[in-house]
Structure 1
Amino acid sequence: MDKCNGCSCWPLSKRASKPVSTLIILGSGGHTAEMLNLLAVLRKDRFNPRFYIAAATDNMSLEKAQLLENSLATENATSVTHSAQFMKIYRSREVGQSYITSIWTTLIAMVHALWLMIKIRPEVILCNGPGTCIPICAIAFIFKVVGIKWSSIFYVESIARVRRLSLSGLLLYKFRMADQLFVQWPQLQRQYPRATYVGRLM
C-alpha cells in the first residue's frame, strides 16, 4: 500500500499514537487471503490487540490467522494470547440458502454481533467483503447513531472488484456505514466518488 504508507494515513482517531483494539473480519477463500496480505503491511504495534472473527462454518480462515499470529509471536518472543483472540459468529446466509429462511438466520447473526461488539468494544473494525461483516458493521453503525462511538469501520474492497462494488461494499457505501471505504482500481473510485483509491494492495 504505497499510497498510504502502510495504512498510516488512515484516520483512526485522535489517539493515533496509541494502540487501538482491532476487530478483523475474515471471509472464506480469497477474502481471507487478501485480508492476510493486508495485515502484512499494518503496523502491528498500533493495531493491538487484534480480534479475528470468522463465520461459524469457516474453520480454515481462523487457522490461517492463528498461523500468522504464531509467526509474529515467535518473531517478537511474545505470547499470542497477549495480542490476538479468535472468535466465530453465526452467518447471516449460507451459500444456497433461501432468502426467506435467511431472514431468521440474519436476526440470529445480528444478536450475536451485538453480544460480540459489547464484549470486545473494538476501536477499529477492518473488513474486506464477506457477508459476515454486515451484522457487525450494522451494529457498530447503530451504536454511532445513538451516540455510542466505540468503533471506526474501514472497508477494503476486493481487488477482484474492478467496476462495481460487492454487495457488502455497496451496502456500506450506500448507507454510509463505513468511515472509510477503500478501492483498488481508479475506475471504481470514479463510479463511487466517496470511496478512497489506494492502488493495488496485492
Structure 2
Amino acid sequence: MAIILPLLVTITALLAAGIYYRLAFVLLDPKRNKPLRHGRRNPNEPTHLMIVLGSGGHTTEMLSMLTRCVQESDPAQKLHWNDYHHRTWVVSEGDNLSAARAKEFEEMASPLSTQEDLMAGKVRKATDIGPGTYEVVTVPRAREIHQPLLTSPLSSLTTMRACWDLLQKHTTKTREGHGGQAGEKDAPDLILVNGPATATIMVFTSILLRFFDVKGVSTRGKMRTVYVESWARVKRLSLSGKLLRRVVDRFLVQWPQVKREVGGRVEYLGVLVQ
C-alpha cells in the first residue's frame, strides 16, 4: 500500500498534466494550423462552412450578417459565398422557420456569387466550381421552452451526440498524411455561431473531436470556430458568450463598451448586422 499510493498519485498527476497540455494546445495555440489546402477555389479540395442557427432573434441576426457580407462592395470585407463548396445549416428540431430562411438565403446568395464571377471575367472559376451544395440539418433541441432544469443535462447530451455525428458526417480518409481525399466533402473548415444553446454545444463537441484528433481534424486545422455576440448585448456578454469566450478561435462583439469590459481576445469590428 505504501508503494501503490504514491504510484497512483504520480499517474494521476501525469494524466492531469497531459490533459492540461493537450487542452492548451487545442484551445490556446496562437499558431493553430489553418486548413491544409491549395486555395479555396481548388475544386479538388472542397471547403465546408457550417452555420448554426438559433430561433427568432438569433436566426435573424445571423442571416442579416451573412446578407451584409455577401452584398458588401469592399473586396476586403466581402464574403464570396461560393468559395465554400459545401454549406451545412444546423437548425433545432421543430424550427421550420429557420430552415426555410436558410433555403431562401441560399437561393439569393449562390446565384449572386456566380453572376459576379462571370461579370468579372472569371468564367473558368465560375464554371469549374459552380454554386456548390448545401444541406439543412436538424438536431434535437438542447432545452425546450419551460423544460425543467433537472432534465436539461439529458437533453443536452442528446444534442451533443447528434452534433458529434454531424461533425463527422463528411469527414473523409486522409491522403499524404494530412489532406482529405480529393474531390470529397470533408469536416467543416469553419463553424459560425452567434449564441443559441445548440451552437454552444456544437462548439464544445468540436473541441472534443479536436482534443482526440478524430480522423485528423486537429492536425489538418479543421473546425475553426467564430462566435459573434448578439447586437442586443450592449454592456455585457450573454451566457453563451461567457462559456465560449476562451475556447473559440475568434470572438466578435458589436459594441466597443463590451470590448472594454471583457478585454482579452475579444474583437470589436463595429456593428455587423444591417
Q: TM-score, with normalisation over the residues of structure 2?
A: 0.64
* Residue 57, structure 1, aligned to residue 57, structure 2: no
Amino acid at match of 1:183: V
| Counterpart selection for 1:132 from 178, 198, 210 | 198
| Counterpart selection for 1:168 from 226, 232, 240 | 240
Alpha-carbon RMSD across the aligned residues, in angstroms, is 2.3
Paired residue for 2:212?
A: 146
Could you tell me which runs of 5 or more consecutive residues in structure 2 were left unpaired when the two chains were aligned: 1-31, 42-46, 70-78, 116-126, 171-186
Deviation digits for residues 3-38 of structure 1, max 9, x if unmatched?
Answer: xxxxxxxx9936584153110000111111111111
Amino acid at match of 1:72: A
Amino acid at match of 2:224: S
Describe the shift of the 1:101–1:81 C-alpha distance in structure 2 as closer, same or farther (beyond 3 A): farther
Q: Which of 1 and 2 has greater Rg?
A: 2
Describe the shift of the 1:46–1:82 C-alpha distance in structure 2 as closer, same or farther (beyond 3 A): closer
1:90 shift after superposition: 0.7
* Residue 18, structure 1, aligned to residue 40, structure 2: yes
- Paired residue secondary structure (2:237): coil
Amino acid at match of 1:177: V
Contact 1:12/1:124 (8 A) holds in 2: no
- Paired residue secondary structure (2:80): coil
Contact 1:92/1:109 (8 A) holds in 2: yes
| Counterpart selection for 2:155 from 98, 105, 109 | 105
Moved >6 Å (runs of 4+) = none
Please give the alpha-carbon distance, in whole angstroms, between the structure 1 residues aligned to 2:203 and 2:131: 25
Paired residue for 2:119?
A: none
The farther-off stretch of 64-73 and 149-158 is 64-73
Please give the alpha-carbon distance, in whole angstroms, between the structure 2 residues aligned to 1:73 and 1:135: 29
Amino acid at match of 1:139: T
Please give the alpha-carbon distance, in whole angstroms, between the structure 2 residues aligned to 1:169 and 1:16: 33
* Residue 72, structure 1, aligned to residue 72, structure 2: no
Amino acid at match of 1:51: T
1:71 shift after superposition: 2.3
Could you tell me which runs of 5 or more consecutive residues in structure 1 were left unpaired when the two chains were aligned: 1-10
Paired residue for 1:185?
A: 255
Please give the alpha-carbon distance, in whole angstroms, between the structure 2 residues aligned to 1:197 and 1:81: 31
| Counterpart selection for 1:117 from 155, 161, 167 | 167
Amino acid at match of 1:71: M
Deviation digits for residues 126-177 of structure 1, max 9, x if unmatched?
Answer: 011111102211111112222342210000111001111111111101xx22
* Residue 199, structure 1, aligned to residue 274, structure 2: no
1:49 shift after superposition: 1.4
The structure carrying a bigger helix percent of its residues is 2
1:46 shift after superposition: 2.7
Paired residue for 2:7?
A: none
Describe the shift of the 1:26–1:12 C-alpha distance in structure 2 as closer, same or farther (beyond 3 A): farther
Paired residue for 2:134?
A: 84
- Paired residue secondary structure (1:119): coil
Describe the shift of the 1:168–1:16 C-alpha distance in structure 2 as closer, same or farther (beyond 3 A): farther
Contact 2:82/2:110 (8 A) holds in 1: no
Amino acid at match of 1:153: T
Please give the alpha-carbon distance, in whole angstroms, between the structure 2 residues aligned to 1:46 and 1:191: 35
- Paired residue secondary structure (2:197): coil
Paired residue for 1:31?
A: 58
